[in-house]
Amino acid sequence: MTYIETEIPGVWIIEPKVFNDARGYFMEAFKQSDFESHIGQVNFIQDNESCSTKGVLRGLHYQLAPYSQAKLVRVIKGSVLDVAVDVRAGSPSYGKYVAVELSGENKRQFFIPQGFAHGFHVLSDEAIFTYKVDNQYMPSHERGIRFDDPAIHVDWSIEDLECVNLSEKDKNAPCLKDAELNFTF
Protein backbone atom coordinates (compact mmCIF):
# COMPACT_ATOMS: atom_id res chain seq x y z
CA MET A 1 0.00 0.00 0.00
CA THR A 2 1.02 3.57 -0.60
CA TYR A 3 0.46 6.01 2.28
CA ILE A 4 0.07 9.67 1.30
CA GLU A 5 -0.04 12.23 4.09
CA THR A 6 -2.28 15.15 3.16
CA GLU A 7 -1.70 18.86 3.73
CA ILE A 8 -3.19 18.39 7.21
CA PRO A 9 -0.76 16.24 9.22
CA GLY A 10 -2.36 13.06 10.54
CA VAL A 11 -4.91 12.78 7.70
CA TRP A 12 -3.87 10.12 5.20
CA ILE A 13 -4.92 8.77 1.80
CA ILE A 14 -4.08 5.10 1.41
CA GLU A 15 -3.81 3.50 -2.02
CA PRO A 16 -3.77 -0.30 -2.02
CA LYS A 17 -1.86 -2.44 -4.48
CA VAL A 18 -4.53 -4.04 -6.65
CA PHE A 19 -3.79 -7.22 -8.57
CA ASN A 20 -6.11 -7.56 -11.59
CA ASP A 21 -6.51 -10.47 -13.95
CA ALA A 22 -9.23 -12.07 -16.07
CA ARG A 23 -11.00 -13.35 -12.92
CA GLY A 24 -11.25 -9.96 -11.23
CA TYR A 25 -8.97 -8.43 -8.61
CA PHE A 26 -7.31 -9.02 -5.26
CA MET A 27 -6.06 -6.47 -2.74
CA GLU A 28 -5.18 -6.18 0.92
CA ALA A 29 -7.73 -3.78 2.37
CA PHE A 30 -6.05 -3.53 5.77
CA LYS A 31 -2.79 -4.81 7.22
CA GLN A 32 -2.27 -3.74 10.82
CA SER A 33 1.55 -3.88 10.82
CA ASP A 34 1.73 -1.78 7.63
CA PHE A 35 -0.84 0.70 8.95
CA GLU A 36 0.99 1.10 12.27
CA SER A 37 4.38 1.60 10.62
CA HIS A 38 3.00 4.59 8.68
CA ILE A 39 0.25 6.08 10.85
CA GLY A 40 0.72 4.63 14.32
CA GLN A 41 -1.31 2.41 16.58
CA VAL A 42 -5.07 2.75 16.28
CA ASN A 43 -7.23 0.15 17.94
CA PHE A 44 -10.14 -0.31 15.55
CA ILE A 45 -13.05 -1.95 17.37
CA GLN A 46 -15.91 -1.89 14.88
CA ASP A 47 -16.66 -1.92 11.16
CA ASN A 48 -19.69 -0.02 9.81
CA GLU A 49 -21.31 0.10 6.38
CA SER A 50 -23.87 2.37 4.77
CA CYS A 51 -25.60 2.54 1.43
CA SER A 52 -26.71 5.89 0.01
CA THR A 53 -28.09 7.20 -3.26
CA LYS A 54 -26.93 10.04 -5.49
CA GLY A 55 -27.17 13.45 -3.89
CA VAL A 56 -27.11 12.20 -0.30
CA LEU A 57 -24.78 14.20 1.90
CA ARG A 58 -23.93 12.81 5.33
CA GLY A 59 -22.09 15.11 7.69
CA LEU A 60 -20.21 16.84 8.95
CA HIS A 61 -20.26 14.53 11.99
CA TYR A 62 -18.04 13.95 15.02
CA GLN A 63 -18.30 12.67 18.57
CA LEU A 64 -17.12 14.57 21.62
CA ALA A 65 -14.37 13.08 23.78
CA PRO A 66 -14.14 10.64 25.42
CA TYR A 67 -16.07 9.01 22.56
CA SER A 68 -14.31 10.73 19.67
CA GLN A 69 -13.55 8.41 16.78
CA ALA A 70 -10.72 7.88 14.35
CA LYS A 71 -12.02 6.42 11.09
CA LEU A 72 -10.57 4.47 8.19
CA VAL A 73 -13.09 4.86 5.38
CA ARG A 74 -13.50 3.47 1.87
CA VAL A 75 -16.10 2.96 -0.83
CA ILE A 76 -16.83 -0.55 -2.09
CA LYS A 77 -19.30 0.45 -4.81
CA GLY A 78 -19.90 3.82 -6.45
CA SER A 79 -18.12 7.06 -5.58
CA VAL A 80 -18.22 9.80 -2.96
CA LEU A 81 -16.44 13.01 -2.17
CA ASP A 82 -15.16 12.43 1.34
CA VAL A 83 -14.26 15.35 3.63
CA ALA A 84 -12.40 15.70 6.94
CA VAL A 85 -12.47 19.06 8.79
CA ASP A 86 -9.99 19.84 11.58
CA VAL A 87 -11.94 20.88 14.70
CA ARG A 88 -9.06 20.74 17.21
CA ALA A 89 -8.68 24.00 19.13
CA GLY A 90 -5.17 25.41 18.74
CA SER A 91 -4.42 23.44 15.57
CA PRO A 92 -2.71 25.41 12.79
CA SER A 93 -5.23 23.83 10.40
CA TYR A 94 -8.33 24.46 12.56
CA GLY A 95 -11.37 24.89 10.32
CA LYS A 96 -9.50 23.67 7.23
CA TYR A 97 -10.47 20.52 5.37
CA VAL A 98 -9.16 17.78 3.12
CA ALA A 99 -11.38 16.29 0.43
CA VAL A 100 -10.73 13.15 -1.58
CA GLU A 101 -12.79 11.15 -4.05
CA LEU A 102 -13.21 7.57 -2.90
CA SER A 103 -14.66 4.99 -5.24
CA GLY A 104 -15.04 1.31 -5.83
CA GLU A 105 -12.85 1.87 -8.86
CA ASN A 106 -9.90 3.73 -7.30
CA LYS A 107 -10.13 1.69 -4.06
CA ARG A 108 -8.55 4.53 -2.07
CA GLN A 109 -8.98 4.71 1.67
CA PHE A 110 -8.98 7.79 3.86
CA PHE A 111 -7.75 7.87 7.45
CA ILE A 112 -9.33 10.56 9.64
CA PRO A 113 -7.92 10.90 13.16
CA GLN A 114 -9.85 11.90 16.27
CA GLY A 115 -10.59 15.62 16.44
CA PHE A 116 -12.00 15.88 12.92
CA ALA A 117 -15.54 16.27 11.63
CA HIS A 118 -16.33 13.92 8.76
CA GLY A 119 -18.82 13.83 5.92
CA PHE A 120 -19.35 12.62 2.38
CA HIS A 121 -21.42 13.46 -0.67
CA VAL A 122 -22.55 10.64 -2.99
CA LEU A 123 -21.52 11.28 -6.60
CA SER A 124 -22.72 8.02 -8.17
CA ASP A 125 -26.24 6.56 -8.44
CA GLU A 126 -25.51 4.50 -5.35
CA ALA A 127 -22.54 4.18 -2.99
CA ILE A 128 -21.67 1.51 -0.48
CA PHE A 129 -19.44 3.08 2.14
CA THR A 130 -17.55 1.15 4.81
CA TYR A 131 -15.43 2.29 7.69
CA LYS A 132 -13.49 1.14 10.71
CA VAL A 133 -13.77 3.13 13.96
CA ASP A 134 -11.71 3.08 17.14
CA ASN A 135 -14.52 3.95 19.55
CA GLN A 136 -18.15 3.02 19.97
CA TYR A 137 -21.04 5.12 18.75
CA MET A 138 -22.42 7.19 21.60
CA PRO A 139 -25.56 9.16 20.60
CA SER A 140 -25.24 11.49 23.62
CA HIS A 141 -21.80 12.63 22.35
CA GLU A 142 -22.64 12.91 18.65
CA ARG A 143 -22.43 16.40 17.17
CA GLY A 144 -22.38 18.00 13.74
CA ILE A 145 -21.40 21.06 11.77
CA ARG A 146 -23.31 22.50 8.81
CA PHE A 147 -22.09 21.10 5.52
CA ASP A 148 -22.36 24.58 3.97
CA ASP A 149 -20.70 26.56 6.77
CA PRO A 150 -19.28 29.65 5.02
CA ALA A 151 -16.29 29.76 7.39
CA ILE A 152 -15.15 26.31 6.19
CA HIS A 153 -16.43 26.64 2.61
CA VAL A 154 -16.17 22.98 1.58
CA ASP A 155 -16.33 22.54 -2.19
CA TRP A 156 -18.66 19.55 -2.31
CA SER A 157 -18.85 19.57 -6.15
CA ILE A 158 -22.59 20.25 -5.89
CA GLU A 159 -24.19 22.18 -8.74
CA ASP A 160 -27.56 22.77 -7.08
CA LEU A 161 -27.74 22.91 -3.29
CA GLU A 162 -31.51 22.41 -3.49
CA CYS A 163 -30.87 18.86 -4.75
CA VAL A 164 -28.82 17.79 -1.71
CA ASN A 165 -30.48 15.06 0.32
CA LEU A 166 -29.81 15.76 4.03
CA SER A 167 -31.13 14.30 7.26
CA GLU A 168 -33.06 16.64 9.57
CA LYS A 169 -30.15 16.44 11.99
CA ASP A 170 -27.73 17.67 9.32
CA LYS A 171 -30.11 20.42 8.13
CA ASN A 172 -30.19 21.79 11.67
CA ALA A 173 -26.49 21.45 12.52
CA PRO A 174 -24.73 24.61 13.75
CA CYS A 175 -21.84 26.39 12.06
CA LEU A 176 -18.35 25.72 13.38
CA LYS A 177 -18.27 28.96 15.40
CA ASP A 178 -21.35 27.78 17.36
CA ALA A 179 -20.50 24.07 17.55
CA GLU A 180 -19.81 22.28 20.81
CA LEU A 181 -16.20 21.06 20.67
CA ASN A 182 -13.79 19.59 23.21
CA PHE A 183 -10.73 18.72 21.14
CA THR A 184 -7.32 20.28 21.55
CA PHE A 185 -4.26 20.10 19.34
Active site residues per annotation: 61, 131
Q: What CA–CA distance (Å, rounded) separates 143 from 62?
A: 5
Q: What CA–CA distance (Å, rounded) separates 94 from 160?
A: 28
Are 165 and 55 contacting, i.e. CB atoms less than 8 angstroms apart? yes
Are 71 and 84 contacting, i.e. CB atoms less than 8 angstroms apart? no
Q: What CA–CA distance (Å, rounded) separates 156 from 133?
A: 24
Nearest to 131 by CA among 48, 10, 28: 48
